[in-house]
Amino acid sequence: MAEEIEFAQKFSEQIEKAKEQKVRIVIKEQYKEAFEILEDCESAGLIPGIIGPPGVGKTLILRAYAERSGRDFAWITGDEGVRPSHLVGSFNPAIVLRKGFSLESFDPGPLLKSMVFGRVFGLNEGNRLPEYVQNSLLEPFEERTLHVQRLGRIQANDDFFPVLTMNPEEMAGAHRLSEALRDRIRVWIRIGYPRKETELEIVRMNCPEYTISDGVMDKIYDLVSSTRSSTDIEVPGSIRAGISIARLAAQMAKRKNEEQISHSTLSTAATYVLTGALRFRPGIDPEPAVNALIRRTLAS
C-alpha cells in the first residue's frame, strides 16, 4: 500500500515535470520552411504529410508546432497491430456491465481526444497501418467528423490538426500508403539531412552540458555523413546517431579526465553508437564494416 501512495505522488510530480519541458529546436532553413507550410496548411484547411528519413526531426517539428500554437500534441505510430479502437477508444467491459454503453464506460483514444480537445495529431508511419485502419481515418481527415459506435457522431474542434509523417517510400522496408489515405493528404513536405552547419548546431543544442571542440564536431559529422553516401548501407546514421556519438564521447572524455576528446575515445564512442544505428545491405557483415568505416573516416 505504501508503495502505491508513493507511486501516486511521484506520478503527479513527473506529470508536472513533463509540462515544464520546453521543446528545444533549431528553426532555420528546411525546419523554418516546414513550420511555415504547416501554418499555411492549417489556415487553408489542408492536411500535410511530412516525409523524411528516420531521425531528421519530423516529430520534433510537430511537437514545436503544437507548443507554439498553445496546444497539446498527441501521436501514434502505425504498425500492423494497431486497430481502429486504439485510435478512437473502446468501452471498458467491466464498467459497461454496471453502467451500460455510455460515455462513462468509454476510454477515449488519442484520435478522438485530439478531435474533441483540438490537438495537433501526429500519425507516424501511417503507411504501416493495415489498410482497413488507414480507411478508418478517411472520415476524420476528410470530413472532420468521427462516428463513435453507440455514442454518436462528433464534429472535430476547430483546432484539431492531423499531420502524417513517414519515411520515403524508396527506403527499404517502407510500406505503401493506401491510395485512399494518400488522396486525403494534400501537401507533402520533404525534410532531408540538414546542411553541415545546421546539423552540428542541432547536435550542440542536444549536448548543452558538454564543451566539444569544432575539430571533434567536424569528425562526428564526417562519421555520420559518410554513412549516408555508402551504397552498402540501407539505413544510414541519423541526427540521433551524431547526438549520441557526441554525448557518449564527451562523457567518456570527462570520466577519463581528457582535456579534449581524444582520437581513441571518439573512435570507441562511435563504435558503440554506430554498431546498432546503421542497417547494412543483406550479405554485409556489420561489425567489420563499422570498424572499417570509422578507421577510414577518422584517419583522414
Q: Does 202 bind ligand ATP (CB under 6 A)?
A: yes
Q: How many CA atoms lie within 13 A of 131 on its CB side?
A: 4
Strand partners, 93: none
Binding mask 116-145 toward ligand ATP (x if CB under 6 A, else -) reads --------x---------------------
- The three-class DSSP label of residue 280 is strand
Give the binding range for ligand ATP (CB under 6 A) out of 19-27, 107-115, 268-276, 290-298: 19-27
* Burial tier of 239 (Cβ tally within 10 Å: 0-12, 13-18, 19+): buried
Grid coordinates representing 160 are: 484539431
Q: Does 58 bind ligand ATP (CB under 6 A)?
A: yes
| Least spacing, CB of residue 192 vs Mg ion, in Å | 15
| Least spacing, CB of residue 55 vs ligand ATP, in Å | 4
Q: Indicate the pairing of strand 233-235 with strand 279-280.
A: antiparallel
Task: Please report the DSSP string for 144-176 in residue order.
Answer: SEEEETTTEEEEPPTT-EEEEEE--TTSTTPPP
- Residue from 48, 57, 236, 237 touching ligand ATP (CB under 6 A): that is 57
Give the binding range for ligand ATP (CB under 6 A) out of 24-32, 37-45, 66-74, 227-235: 24-32
Q: Does 54 bind ligand ATP (CB under 6 A)?
A: yes
| Least spacing, CB of residue 104 vs Mg ion, in Å | 34
Binding mask 29-68 toward Mg ion (x if CB under 5 A, else -) reads ------------------------------x---------
User: How wide is the angle at C-alpha 150 spanned by C-alphas 146 and 154, nearest 5°?
Assistant: 25
Nearest CA among 265, 210, 272, 216 for reference residue 244: 272
Residues in contact with ligand ATP by the rule CB under 6 A: 24-26, 31, 52, 54-60, 124, 202, 205-206, 239-240, 243
